[in-house]
Structure 1
Amino acid sequence: MGDFSYPYKRLYYTFYNWTTFFGWARVLYIVLKTLMELGHEHVYSAVEKPLLVSQTAAVLEVLHGLVGMVRSPITATFPQIGSRIFLIWGILWSFPESRSHVLVSPLLISWSIAEISRFAFFGFKEAAGLTPSCLLWLRYSAFTILYPAGIFCEIGLIYVALPFIKESEKYCIRMPNKWNLSFNYFYSSIVILGMYIPGSPHMYRYMLARRRKVLSNSRKKE
């Protein structure tokens, strides 16, 4: 018996991929336009709303993995999306002092290009059942440059924000309180920063292995 939900899943993924594609395309357009016309100091303020919407929508990908709608392992999806959510909400949105830093522009450019190629790839795959060879190559090759660039910028921006996090004591919970617990956002940010050391190489190796497998299968089909 066939899976009657398949057509609806395909329709949903087609809509999700192309909607997110256009969201990131808008982010890239605004970043480049603002960078050329006003300078890097104004990039975040110009792109904030579409950036927050486009990146926060990625939480759905974690849910897709949790409920088994996609085959991507949650162990690979969650760390990448979690780090980005932390950066846009926990750093850039929470601490305005970090928004005008020069690393914001290359971060958003690398994120945007990576996401545009990824969602275009899956958008064609869901809508037409095939993908242009150029998109296949871009999807599984561009990350070799974009991922390290993005990671470098993420680490840099978290580091830049640390003094402001410590001084403001934002999101900190001090004892005593009715919950009988304490939380230090400054030290938590340092822990997250430290997790990039083992996490980034592991994720990069996973993506390289995935690239070899996909491109090898593609050559066999030709």
Structure 2
Amino acid sequence: MAQTTDSDETGDTPRRKWKQDPDGVRSDILRVAREVFAQKGLSGTRIDEIAARTSTSKRMIYYYFADKEGLYREVLADAYRQTREAEDALKLADMPPEIALRKLAEFTFDNHQRSQDFIRLVMIENVHEARHMPDASDMSGENSSAIRMLEDIYAQGLAQGTFRNGFTAVELHWHISALSYFNVSNRATFSHIFGDRLFDDAGQATLRQHVGDMILRLVMI
């Protein structure tokens, strides 16, 4: 059994569900841990709180993830994995490149807006200088799907003469992510200074369209 850090771990009584549905228990732990880590960060989170909100015990959390840092690392990996899976589900391959690029840009804006705990996790991990991110070799297979998608869209646009030369898929991913990320990461401070008009439904719809417009105007001839 991996070592634990919370002093009262031995007081937990394992529950039966982990034997009946281990995958479900693990998924439940990750779901709750994602919410708590996004709210309180790594240092502010206690395993006790996560256990109290799941169908398992602290002992089982340590069984699955070794320690709090191991759980935090897996939460990060799972959050990125879910984002990539949602992108893959778009099925952009058969669309004209300009439509596919807009759809991906606007989807990213929407997905970040819906998944604000994911953005908070990324914000927290940037504070930690990415020390807890999974190894690049573990992340590349999942995250490269977004890059391959952009490579295919961009190559098709170049071949059809609608996109101009001079970009890489990584650059395009950066531009799309930057616009979509700021909308969530800086919402509190931006709205405090300038008001929250851009963050009501109408404002978000306008920004969403403009993100697609800007990305297309960046690459189109």
Using structure 1 for the length normalisation, give the TM-score.
Answer: 0.29
| Structure with a larger share of its residues in helix | 1
Using structure 2 for the length normalisation, give the TM-score.
Answer: 0.29
Return the index of the structure with the highest Cα Rg: 2
